[in-house]
Amino acid sequence: MKKSSINNKVNKKRNNASWWLWMFGAIFAAMVARVFFSGATPAGFANFGASKPVELTFSDVLRRGDEIQSMTIRGSDAAGVLKDGTQFRATITDDPELLNKIAENGATISIDNSKSWVDLLGTWLPIVFFVFLIWWFFRGARGGAAGLGRSLTGQNPTKITTGKPSTTFKDVAGIESEKQELAEVVDFLKNKDKYKTVGARVPRGVLLAGEPGTGKTLLARAIAGEANVPFFAASGSDFSGIIVGLGVAKIKEIFEMAKRNAPCILFIDEIDAIGQRRSSHSYNDHDREQTLNQLLIEMDGFANDTGIIVIGATNRPDMLDSALLRPGRFDRQVYIELPDLAGRRAILDLYTKRIKVADNVNIMDLARGTTGFSGADLENLLNEAALHAVRNGRKEVAQEDVEEARDKIIMGPRKMRKMRPEDIKLTAYHEAGHAFVSIMYADVTDPIHKATIIPRGRALGMVQHLPIDDKVSMTIAEVRANLAVALAGRGAEEVFFGPDKITTGAESDIAMATRLARYSITTAGLSPKIGLAAINQVGTFGTRGALENASEKTAEMVDAEIRSWLDNAHKDAVKLLTKNKSTVDKLAQELLKRETLTGDEIKEIVLGKKAATKKPAQKKTRKKDAKSEQ
C-alpha cells in the first residue's frame, strides 16, 4: 500500500468523524433550544405588532382583572391586550377561579394546548439519539469485541506517523557501535532471501534503551530510511484510553496496517507506557495488562518471513515486563550510551554544518567541555550559541557565544544580582582556592579551562575543567586529588577569612565530594578498611539498587571512612593554600579585576611563567586537527 492510499484511508476516517461531530452538534443544539425556547413564546404573540409588551406580575393580573380585554394562556405563560390597547405578558398559575373572575369582567380567555416545532424537536431528537447510540454499539458488537474495538478506534484513531523517511545513518553521529549493531537489521530488510537460504532468523524486535536525547527515535527513522521501507511510528501513550478494550483494538489496528505494508519498520516510542512489568497486585491496571498481552500476542505471532521489524524505545528498561524481552519478541537489546569524546566531536561536526561558525571556534575544546551531554544537549547548546550571536549582532557563531551557551546550560543563566562587596571578595578567594589546588594537582586532574566569579543560577562562581579524553576509571590518587580540589574552596575561606567567616557557598562542592568518596569506598573497593565488598550492586543497564550486604556495623564504618577521606582531603587543600598564601591572594585579586580568567592565565599567575598558547585552528582544517588531537 502506497503512502497516498494510507493517507486516503486516514482522511476518510477523519471525514466520517467530522460527519458524526456535526450530527451530535445539531442534536446538542436542539436540546439547548428545547431548554431555552420551549414555551417562551405563546401563540397569541404572533398577532402582536412590533411594540414591546408590558411585563405584568401575577399580583398585577389579579388587581387589574377588570382592565383585561383578551388573554391567551399557554402553560404558565399568558399574553393579552388591556382595554386601553396595551399589550401585556405575564406568568400565572393554573387557577380556575382566577380565570372565571377575569371572564366575568368581560375578558375573552383562550387556552392554547398546541406544541411548537421546538417542543417537538426537543422531545424526539434525544430519543432518536439514544436509540441510534444503542444501535451503533450493537452494530460494532456483532463482530465481537474486535468489531466493537474497530468501531471505537475509527472514532478515536491512533496517531501514526507513516511514510518512508529520508533520514539515513549519515544523519546519525556519535553512536557508531550502535549503528553497526543495527546494520544487520537493515541488511535483512534489503536482502532477506539470503537469510532465508541459510535458515537464519533475524530479530523480530529491537529494543533501544538509553538516556533521553541519545537519539533513539532518530536511529529508528534512520534504519527505515537506510533500508528504504515504510516507517510506522506511534507512542506507547496512544494505546491507553478511558474506554476498556480500546488499547487492545489499537494494537490490532497498527499491527494489521504494518502487515499490509511489509517489509516495514514499526516503531513504538516510550514503550514502557504499555509494557510495564505485570504484578499480581495490579488491581487497577487491568486494561493496561490486556493491552500488553495483545502486544505480546502480536509480536509472537509473526512468521519469520513477514519482514516486519518492531523497534521499541524507552529510557526505563528496568520497568519492562520480562515476557516482552524474551527471545522471539524484543530479542535484541541495544543500549545507547551517552556519546564519548569522539562521539561528541562527530555530533558537533554534524550540527555545525547547519549553522555559521567562526574560524576561532575550537570544536574539540567544546567536545572536551561537554562530558555527559547527549546529542540533543549538544544540538541545544549550538542553538543557544546561535541565538546569543544574533542577540549580539553577529552573523556567525563566535567562541564567546559557545562559551556563554555552555555556561548557561551547565550553571544556568547569568544573574544580574546586586552582591555585597564582601560576598564578591569571598567568592573570588573561594574560586581562587579551587583553581590553585587544581594547578598543584595538574599531573593527575583534568586541565583547568577557566575560573569565573560571574554568578549563574545558584552558583556565585565556578572553576571549569576540560578533560583530555574520556575516563573509564580513576586511580585512588586521582580520587584523592579531586577531593582536595573540591574542598579547596572551603579551605580558602578558612585560610583568608578565618573559621568564623566560612559560608554556605561550598554546599555543592561538599555534596560532590561526598558522592565521590562514597562511590570509591562502597562500590569501587578503594578503602582498605572497608575492603573489596561491594555494598552497592550494579544492576541492568547501569542502574544501582539499595544498600546490600551491609550490616549496621558496616554502615557505621562506611560513614566514618567517608568522613576520614573528606577530612584528609580538606587538610591537604588547607596545607597547600597556607603554604602559598601570597600566590592565591594574587590569583583572587586578578579574579576581582577581570571576573574571568582562562586556564592559561591561571597557569601564568600560579607558575610564574607565560603558558604556551595555541593558535586558533582554521575552519577548513578543524577536522584534521581534531584527529591529530585525539
Active site residues: 431
d(CA 507, CA 624): 42
Q: Are strands 264-269 and 231-235 parallel, antiparallel or unpaired?
A: parallel
State the DSSP code for 156: S
**For the chain, give me the number of helices (H) and strands (E)?**
22, 15
CA torsion 445-449-455-457 (nearest 10°) is -70
Q: Per this entry, what is the length of the chain?
A: 630
The amino acid present at 116, given as its one-letter code, is S
Per residue in 308-337, is it b (16+ CB within 10 Å) or e — as a string?
bbbbbbbbebeebbebbbeeebbbbbbbbe
Do residues 328 and 204 make contact, with C-beta atoms less than 8 angstroms apart? yes
d(CA 260, CA 255): 9
d(CA 427, CA 171): 44
Q: Which long-range contacts link 574-582 to residues 24+ away (Cβ below 8 Å)?
A: 574/491, 574/494, 574/495, 576/436, 576/437, 576/440, 576/484, 576/488, 577/433, 577/436, 577/437, 577/488, 577/491, 577/492, 577/495, 578/495, 580/436, 581/495, 581/496
State the DSSP code for 396: S
d(CA 616, CA 152): 63
Which residue in 369, 372, 382 sits closest to 338, CA to CA?
372
End-to-end CA distance of the chain: 49
Q: Cell 583530555, residue? A: 468
* CA separation, residue 262 to residues 132, 331, 569 (Å): 38, 20, 63
Provide φ and ψ at 464, rounded to 5°.
-110, 140
All three cell numbers of 282, joined, read 495490579
Helix (H, G, I), strand (E, B) or coil at 500: helix
